[in-house]
Structure 1
Amino acid sequence: MSKFDGYFLRQLLVLCGFFAFVLVGVFWISKAVSLFDKLISSGQTAMVALEFTALSLPSLIRTVMPMAVFAATVYVTNRLNRESELTVMLATGTSPMRLARPVLLFGMICAVMLGTITLYLRPASLQRLEARQAEVAGDMTAQLLNDGQFMHPVKGVTVYIGKIDRDGTLNDVYLSDRRRPEQVVTYTSSKAFLARSGEQMALVMVEGTALQMDAKTKLLSTTIFRDFSYDISALAKRDEMRPRDIRSIPTLELNRARLRGPGADTHGRGEIMEELQERLSWLAISVAVAMVGFSTLMLGTFSRFGLWPQLLGAFALLVAIEGLRGVASATVAEHPNLWWLQHAPALGGIALSLLFLRIAGRPVRLTRGSRAGMA
């Protein structure tokens, strides 16, 4: 590797890290604020909210990584062109194809990082996040310890708590159980407590009233009680039969499911093939966006006003590649045998970049040929 290649590669890596840090920070903060507010308001601690936002980082990094690669490539290339460094290299006989070598290496380095995130870290983080979400959803204590708002722990059950004392006493409790439409029961009490015994949990209401409505006879019966225990253990049970999110399935297990192994009974073949090929397609996308950004800017000549037309063209190509990837994903989900379509946008971008570099190198060869003819 020449000194210029090392200099070019270092600039690309530094700027990519900077842009990735900024983009991840912006998106992570905006997501973390809403997630913190949602979890804290539902009775969870700040550590749980922080854990949830940390587990979402691999997915966020994967999303912004291609944008950071593209931004770093066009920024460094435009700066080198504006400072005449690329012009000097071209004048010494270096072809645009040769100048693209550090860009290609940069894209491959980013592809390795993105592949590690996509194939291993992201499924593992989503699997952990899915498990933690199930635990939080089953934490009935956290769901009930919210005063001043109507809560719906499960479908058909509504709970309202007027005020919660520091010692855990619940005041002005309202509970409506409509899970059996033919018999709706509504409980109200001045005070209540949560009592747990092992896996059993009960809401103990004191000095209250139970109103029972019979849908068939249209009769309303009223019962005044001194204390009453309402079993809420069934509400706290997690739905263990819920199918796994396909995004959280490890890549190797997903590949076995593609061959009709474990998991093939819960997800269709098209869905499995689309997710698997979508993960693999991220390996080439970093190389594609880096090469597209560099090769498009190389089509322009030196100008003190910059390469704005080429910059807009590079951005348009990036949008086109992402649009084609979305269309390819939908097609593969319906037609699994066309799995290669998910790799076509990235490979097409690389091929188009090579074409642009070849076109950019022609004026140099023509100029040399004309000078040789004049001599």
Structure 2
Amino acid sequence: MKSLDKYILRQCVVPLSLILLAVTTIVWMTQSLQRIEIIVEHGQGLGVFLYLSLLIIPSLLAVIIPFALFGAVVYTLYRLHSDSEIAVMFAAGVSRARLAAPLLAITALAALTTLYVNVDLMPRTYRVMKQKVANIRADFASSLLRSGEFVDAGDGFTVYVDEVRPGGQFVGLLINDYRNAEDRTTYMAQRAIIQETDAGPLLLLSNGSRQSIADYTGDVEIIRFDDWAINLSTLQDGAGELQLEMTERYLGELLNPDMSEPYDRANAKKLVAEGHSRLASPIYAFAYVLIGLYALIGGAYTRRSYFIRVAVAGTSIFALRVIGYVAQGAAGETGAYWMVYAPPMAATGAAAFLLLAPPPSRRFRGRRAAEGAV
């Protein structure tokens, strides 16, 4: 690698890292707020919240990396323009292709990173997150029992606990179990623990009483007990096998839906379109960078109007991404999966052609010179 390549790469890597870090942090903070329910509703700690929030980052990187790369390339070239370094390079005979080569090299690395995130890292982390959330919601102790609160678990089951201790131990319980309308029961117990069994979780009460209304007399019947078990399996959420959404599937599972599953049969075309979209997403990195390169060093050389060029380029890449989403939706409805690749490939080809084509004035002078020679 020549000194010029190293110099341009150094100028690009620093802003790319800063833009990637700043944008990812901002978007991550907004997305992580969706997991705040884990703390509020299920009594989880800050560590669980941060762990689940970090699992969101790979899905953000797949979208942010191409945009961050575009911003870094535009910033780098604008800075070189401002310092008249590009003018010196052109005067020394450096071509546009030579100037773009190191930036396209880092684009190739970013595209490979995006591809890896899309086909492996994102579905893997999403699966871990979904399983963790399902386990939390299915955990009766974490989702239901909280110190000093009356909690309605639904289906006619209400629990009050004086104190929740580590290890699934509870002190001072009052339970109204009206799940069976013909056998409404109230329990009071000094202590209790949760125990998992083959029949589901059991709430084991110690040193308490059971109060119910007798069937025939209507009198309150009180039974004192040393130990009593209440089956909580009907109160569990998320029982059964988890349904994998599109973002949680690996590439092979998207391109080859399991037609024996109802969800896959109903969404087969959309699943395949999502798979092709993941393969096409790295192409957007090249499209964005080539559009940025053309905006700053394409066409006739000038020191002015770069703000307008950058604004048009930024609008173009956002419009391109919207068109890509529309094309993916159309492919998911019609099965024409080539539509997923068409927008980024067309933009990449058009931007590369415009970038490498000589300026109109140079072509005109070349044609005039040829005519004069004849």
**TM-score of the two chains, using structure 2 as the length reference:** 0.81
Secondary structure, counterpart of 2:337 in structure 1: helix
CA–CA distance in 2 between the matches of 1:229 and 1:303? 81
Pick closer, same or farther for the CA change 1:224–1:297 going to 2, 3 Å.
Answer: farther
Secondary structure, counterpart of 2:359 in structure 1: helix
CA–CA distance in 2 between the matches of 1:57 and 1:209? 52
Residue in structure 2 matched with residue 193 of structure 1 by the alignment: 192
- 1:77 counterpart letter in structure 2: L
Contact 1:87–1:302 (CA under 8 A) maintained in structure 2: no
Q: Deviations over 1:170-227 (max 9, x none)?
A: 556454656x7x7695747586633425453226394565589x9xxxxx99665546
Pick closer, same or farther for the CA change 1:28–1:159 going to 2, 3 Å.
Answer: farther
Correspondence 1:35 to 2:35: yes
Correspondence 1:286 to 2:256: no
Residue in structure 1 matched with residue 124 of structure 2 by the alignment: 124
% same residue = 21
- 1:73 counterpart letter in structure 2: V
> Residues 46-57 of structure 1: matches in 2 within 5 Å?
46-57=46-57
What is the CA distance between 1:12 and its match in structure 2?
2.2
> Residues 301-320 of structure 1: matches in 2 within 5 Å?
301-303=301-303, 307-320=306-319
Contact 2:163–2:172 (CA under 8 A) maintained in structure 1: yes
What is the CA distance between 1:316 and its match in structure 2?
0.6
- 2:160 counterpart letter in structure 1: I
Contact 1:82–1:302 (CA under 8 A) maintained in structure 2: no
Q: Please, which of 339, 343, 358 is the counterpart of residue 345 of structure 1?
A: 343
- 1:133 counterpart letter in structure 2: V
Contact 2:288–2:317 (CA under 8 A) maintained in structure 1: yes
Structure 1 gap ranges (5+) = 215-219
Ranked by relative contact order (alpha carbons within 8 Å, sequence separation 6 or more), the top structure is 1
Residue in structure 2 matched with residue 14 of structure 1 by the alignment: 14
Which deviates further from its counterpart, 260-269 or 137-146?
A: 260-269
What is the CA distance between 1:323 and its match in structure 2?
0.8
Correspondence 1:357 to 2:355: yes
Residue in structure 1 matched with residue 203 of structure 2 by the alignment: 202
Contact 2:56–2:125 (CA under 8 A) maintained in structure 1: yes
> Residues 1-375 of structure 1: matches in 2 within 5 Å?
1-32=1-32, 35-36=35-36, 38-39=38-39, 41-147=41-147, 151=151, 156=155, 159-161=158-160, 163-164=162-163, 166=165, 168-169=169-170, 171=172, 173=174, 175=176, 177=178, 185=184, 187=186, 189=188, 193-196=192-195, 198-199=197-198, 200-202=201-203, 204=205, 206-207=208-209, 209=211, 226=224, 229-236=229-236, 238-257=238-257, 265=264, 268-299=267-298, 301-303=301-303, 307-336=306-335, 338-358=336-356, 361-366=359-364
What is the CA distance between 1:3 and its match in structure 2?
2.6
Pick closer, same or farther for the CA change 1:8–1:369 going to 2, 3 Å.
Answer: farther
**TM-score of the two chains, using structure 1 as the length reference:** 0.81
Q: Deviations over 1:257-292 (max 9, x none)?
A: 38x688985563212211111111112111111111
CA–CA distance in 2 between the matches of 1:292 and 1:37? 42
- 1:105 counterpart letter in structure 2: A
What is the CA distance between 1:7 and its match in structure 2?
1.8
Contact 1:188–1:209 (CA under 8 A) maintained in structure 2: yes
CA–CA distance in 2 between the matches of 1:287 and 1:221? 80
Contact 2:147–2:164 (CA under 8 A) maintained in structure 1: no
Pick closer, same or farther for the CA change 1:308–1:20 going to 2, 3 Å.
Answer: same
